[in-house]
Structure 1
């Protein structure tokens, strides 16, 4: 099947990414140049095992320190600055950057994808700001002048192509553009498949079993077989491999991949099953709250457990699909407990992740003749969310959060998972 690109919209989308955003902001706050300074942002400078959240480009290049490294990996070198994360400052800077974008396009043409990455739809701005490359250059210059920060800009006819252009070319060049005419030359050679935005490691493994290892092989695989194997997501994978994306600005690129999750690197070793279950319950509460906030419910519940590296690392990630969609904490928790009891092998735990997927709108409730409490339990969940929204996340906590195993009270004092 040949794709008729003339039948698809050709918009002008910018995907703007701030280079080493946390580290660059921290460097600027210290009056330093992010492009020449050795600086690492860590979760907590008092903990040797604290994770590096960001590093300036010179630190990455000359010392090999990158996001995910540990504090103890950083050499004892007087040239290296090590600072705590300042999440409130980063968020304020991100908001100010959005206001900068608003000078060039209406607010409805801006989608903040993350604290350091945004999409802009710049169609119709030529008479005001010149062609797309002139506008991209102007945004980069303004960013540097006002905030002392560098950015990269990927340009494409849709969100998908702009994001792929950013990740695979613009981050090296500064500004780059991918068009439909370049799909075969630039997109199809991409491998491994996990470099393709929207394809995670598990989907990559499933595609490998079909003999698909490059985006080009995915694009040339029979669409009907992909749809048979993956359903509607198979259709999306096929068209995305051809660079086609009809998502509105701000809509999820992969509709079938919408999920609500929570992942946590524990601050200490957890060896007792009872304590691990306490943290799982807290995290189920958070996942359920996120789903309710979006008025969604899901049928597939996933639990991931990561073991301590002192015992060889590893772990498991398992999912279970239940009969009816839910966003109730205890229903998610009971499913997680089943997965935990079945797969846990009595090792030290350092990481836990939980997600709710296979999502639908929460506009209906399947009544159970043998359990009349379900409607009230569902309503209580929304009431608790409203109280937390008004008075703070620690306004209502489960009893397990007041045990030595609980982490919710500590996390409630953080911004974006880190010190403010």
Structure 2
């Protein structure tokens, strides 16, 4: 199976404690010495910890996702509100740094703090790939005070796995095809494998597959029968095989459009929850329309308040025809909410549109003569928001006490500008 597989030199570079490192640089602090917490809103005791420096995690046990009231009142701890404009600018400057080593087409910015880089053909300029990585990591530390970790492999998948499963502990790791049985197959639970979420993990567990090794030795026909093309990809990924181009999604079947948010307070009334859901459906539908995609499966996840003992539910429904229309997506969300909500206060909401298809043309219906008009109206609103800002045109629910869209329009990436 390993014959004739591509042998590229791909690295996956991760900026350790990126947000805390940026904040430390801005404040003239050492991120590896100072306990730093990036807080969404310092004025609210329930403000979320968006990032934590290594000393804050190690000395005080504070992790991302915890709340401001959980942080000890210790003068050594620095509480800093985020500045997303600055973080994005730093991320762009890091991309410029990488461009000094390789051409732009050899760089794929995977997220604000993580990038894939192909080092093929750089040996004559910078020496062996391991030395090039050392140069890049040294530049990051010297120019940005940014510690980093790097995974290297013959493809995107093995580079990312080398990073996540080894390099984040050691600083650097290189995985080759021959390392897969020893390093990848023992990995369990399956959700530790890049590209496998909790729902897919449960389905695989139901098939008797609990480790990556189990997945690698499962019958290919059974996986393809169960998951279609994604089953084929899962099988080959378990063997470390990835033939995708730089920047392509590794598991095509997992592509979806989604949005989630932690609410500002406990929402107890149905109409308040539905107001936020409508705003979220508008955002998801707009992203799908912009990409000329439509989906059939709508998933709604609801998290209950900690004051109500937590918990929640996640349910989905598949409709007969693909859609990217806001109100149709909202109607499914409303149906799922009314069926599965048990009345407890809601603190977290998430929706997604999946089972996607390209929107080549609109299928007209004899019973819905306004379908094309609704599609054009949605497109017009999308254009206005794109040109004049996300709050240029809002639904009336956004002006109620329950609405969150107006507040979030003043944020970048979910954080204060």
* Shorter-chain TM band: over 0.9
Listed as ranges, the gaps of 5+ residues in structure 1 are none
Asked if 1:227 is matched to 2:224, the reply is yes
- Equivalence for 1:262: 259
Report the alpha carbon displacement of residue 231 of structure 1 after superposing the two structures with TM: 1.4
- Equivalence for 2:318: 321
CA deviations 1:348-378 (Å, max 9, x no partner) are 0001101001111111222111111111111
Asked if 1:138 is matched to 2:135, the reply is yes
Aligned counterparts of 1:62 and 1:189: Cα–Cα separation in 2: 31
- Equivalence for 1:368: 365
1:237 alignment partner, SS class: helix
Q: Which portions of structure 1, spanning 4 or more consecutive aligned residues, are displaced by more than 3 angstroms?
A: none
The root-mean-square deviation of aligned C-alpha atoms, in Å, is 0.8
Aligned counterparts of 2:358 and 2:303: Cα–Cα separation in 1: 31
Aligned counterparts of 2:400 and 2:77: Cα–Cα separation in 1: 38
CA deviations 1:39-84 (Å, max 9, x no partner) are 0101111111111111111111111111111111111111110111
Q: Find 1:86's aligned residue among 58, 67, 83.
A: 83
CA deviations 1:295-354 (Å, max 9, x no partner) are 211111011111101011111110011111111101101111111111111110001101
- Equivalence for 2:118: 121
Asked if 1:162 is matched to 2:179, the reply is no
1:350 alignment partner, SS class: strand
Aligned counterparts of 1:167 and 1:326: Cα–Cα separation in 2: 36
Q: Find 2:46's aligned residue among 49, 71, 76.
A: 49
Q: Find 1:387's aligned residue among 384, 392, 397.
A: 384
- Equivalence for 1:248: 245
Report the alpha carbon displacement of residue 144 of structure 1 after superposing the two structures with TM: 0.7
Asked if 1:195 is matched to 2:156, the reply is no
* 8 A Cα contact 1:284 1:333, kept in partner: yes
Aligned counterparts of 1:66 and 1:119: Cα–Cα separation in 2: 26
* 8 A Cα contact 1:324 1:366, kept in partner: no
Report the alpha carbon displacement of residue 7 of structure 1 after superposing the two structures with TM: 2.2
Aligned counterparts of 2:297 and 2:126: Cα–Cα separation in 1: 47
Listed as ranges, the gaps of 5+ residues in structure 2 are none
Aligned counterparts of 1:178 and 1:364: Cα–Cα separation in 2: 45
Q: Find 1:357's aligned residue among 354, 358, 369.
A: 354
- Equivalence for 2:204: 207
Count of paired positions: 417
CA deviations 1:105-135 (Å, max 9, x no partner) are 1111111111000111111111001111001
- Equivalence for 1:415: 412
Report the alpha carbon displacement of residue 6 of structure 1 after superposing the two structures with TM: 2.2
Aligned counterparts of 1:415 and 1:136: Cα–Cα separation in 2: 31
TM-score (norm 1): 0.98
Q: Find 1:310's aligned residue among 307, 311, 334.
A: 307
1:5 alignment partner, SS class: coil
* 8 A Cα contact 1:187 1:216, kept in partner: yes
TM-score (norm 2): 0.99
2:415 alignment partner, SS class: coil
- Equivalence for 1:73: 70
